């Protein structure tokens, strides 16, 4: 099979059934579209969750679906009306396409668009494939100093940056980040870039906390088996010099971490819920309400790619530190096993036949 005929793709058929298969090559790009050759794709926790469980909330895998959405690619062809890109450009893609016409889109809150199509969210295919098409205005050209891996990691970084924007982090503030998984780690990086002076991070994994310390956490707290959120809260406050954090970002979404966040955030502070582990939780809401703790949700991101590019270009954030494993597209099944095991932080799949 020639390179021009090869469109190898990683397809999820049903929970536990992940296959590498050939799919038809995309047609020529339409107006304001580009045809892309995939370079780097990061494995997201959602990809693993669809593989192992077949659903996330109301999003259920009913038909075969290509996985992947953390993506960089090379422009192969441009459609009519595309002026911002040319063949050969290396880009990072924003994976969600909104309707552009509803009130949410008109107000700039396009992440809330009810007609959003998002790569690797059922029923829409993702980007773990050799070639795919995408709207040109959702492709952001990378500077020559930035690698395809960095481009792919703009997507998870966008979650961290948007979480910090929702928290309205200001210079000199103290921050609590619950969870040191990939999203927690990029949130730490973003909070530091936004000017947080103290960043306390909690997690059950000591090695992840070590990484958190390396990338910007000023203090870390290893959660103990059987410890109550009240007891953990006291340790957090002590670690912050006897003060409650100005802002908290929960990147876990479990009942215990949300409770910890509600108890620990200072009166008049802000709690941002980024993690989505459970749909229904029982938490001490009135305690936070009486202290006027603002609770804000996060759903993906909006208008973050230019800022993320700037933060990396200016060396304020180094996402390369998060890449622990790289695999070829042909090795995707092995890559997903590593991602599921939690052995690494960020697993990258190289989809370019010429890649290393």
Over residues 71-83, the mean pLDDT reads: 97
Res 122: pLDDT: 97
Res 2: pLDDT: 54
CA separation for the pair 55, 61 (Å, rounded): 6
The ranges assigned to domains in the chain are: 8-152+318-350, 160-297
**What are the residue ranges of helices labelled H in the chain?**
45-53, 103-106, 148-152, 154-167, 182-193, 206-215, 229-239, 255-264, 285-290, 305-313, 332-341
CA separation for the pair 249, 199 (Å, rounded): 11
Angstrom CA distances, 257 to 117, 141, 282, stand at 30, 38, 11
Residue 15 neighbours by CB distance under 10 Å: 14
Rg over alpha carbons for the chain, rounded to the nearest Å, is: 20
Cα angle value 261/266/272 (rounded, 5°): 45
Q: Is the pTM of this model over 0.85?
A: yes
pLDDT greater than 80 at residue 354: no
| Cis upstream peptide for 123 (omega within 30°) | yes
pLDDT greater than 60 at residue 154: yes
pLDDT digits (tens, 9 = 90+) for 251-306: 999 999 999 999 999 999 999 999 988 788 999 999 999 999 999 999 999 999 99
Domain at 8-152+318-350, CATH from 3.40.190.10, 3.90.180.10, 3.40.50.1970, 3.40.50.970: 3.90.180.10
pLDDT greater than 60 at residue 179: yes
CA separation for the pair 77, 114 (Å, rounded): 30
pLDDT digits (tens, 9 = 90+) for 110-130: 999 999 999 999 999 999 999
CA separation for the pair 114, 296 (Å, rounded): 19
Residues in Cβ contact with 163 at an 8 Å cutoff, skipping those fewer than 6 apart: 187, 190, 249, 251, 272, 274, 298
Strand 247-250 relative to strand 55-56, pairing = unpaired
CA separation for the pair 105, 157 (Å, rounded): 22
Q: Find out if CATH 3.30.70.890 is the number for domain 160-297.
A: no
Given this chain, do its domains 8-152+318-350 and 160-297 carry the same CATH topology? no
pLDDT greater than 50 at residue 356: no
CA 284 to chain centre: 28
């Amino acid at each position: 099979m020639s390179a021009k005929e090869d469109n190898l793709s990683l397809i999820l058929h049903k929970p536990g059934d992940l296959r590498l298969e050939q799919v038809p090559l995309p047609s020529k790009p339409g107006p304001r579209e580009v045809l892309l050759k995939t370079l780097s794709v990061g494995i997201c926790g959602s990809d693993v969750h669809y593989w192992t469980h077949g659903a996330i909330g109301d999003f259920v895998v009913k038909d075969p679906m290509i996985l992947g959405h953390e993506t960089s690619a090379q422009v192969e062809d441009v459609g009519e009306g595309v002026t911002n890109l040319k063949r050969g450009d290396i880009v990072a893609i924003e994976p969600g396409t909104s309707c552009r016409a509803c009130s949410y889109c008109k107000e700039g809150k396009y992440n809330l668009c009810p007609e959003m199509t998002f790569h690797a969210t059922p029923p829409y295919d993702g980007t773990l494939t050799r070639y795919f098409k995408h709207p040109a205005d959702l492709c952001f050209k990378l500077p020559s100093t930035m690698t395809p891996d960095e481009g792919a990691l703009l997507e998870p970084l966008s979650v961290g940056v948007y979480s910090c924007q929702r928290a309205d982090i200001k210079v000199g503030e103290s921050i609590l980040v619950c969870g040191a998984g990939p999203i927690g780690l990029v949130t730490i990086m973003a909070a530091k870039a936004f000017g947080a002076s103290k960043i306390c991070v909690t997690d059950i994994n000591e090695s992840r906390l070590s990484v958190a310390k390396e990338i910007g956490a000023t203090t870390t707290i290893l959660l103990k088996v059987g410890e109550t959120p009240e007891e953990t809260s006291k340790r957090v406050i002590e670690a912050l010099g006897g003060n409650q954090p100005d802002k908290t970002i929960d990147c876990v979404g479990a009942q215990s971490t949300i409770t910890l966040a509600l108890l620990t955030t200072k009166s008049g502070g802000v709690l941002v819920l980024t993690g989505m582990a459970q749909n229904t939780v029982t938490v001490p809401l009135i305690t936070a309400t009486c202290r006027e703790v603002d609770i804000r949700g996060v759903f993906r991101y909006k208008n973050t790619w230019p800022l993320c590019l700037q933060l990396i270009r200016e060396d304020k954030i180094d996402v390369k530190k998060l890449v622990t494993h790289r695999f070829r597209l042909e090795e995707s099944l092995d890559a997903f096993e590593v991602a599921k095991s939690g052995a690494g932080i960020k697993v990258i799949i190289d989809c370019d036949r010429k890649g290393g």
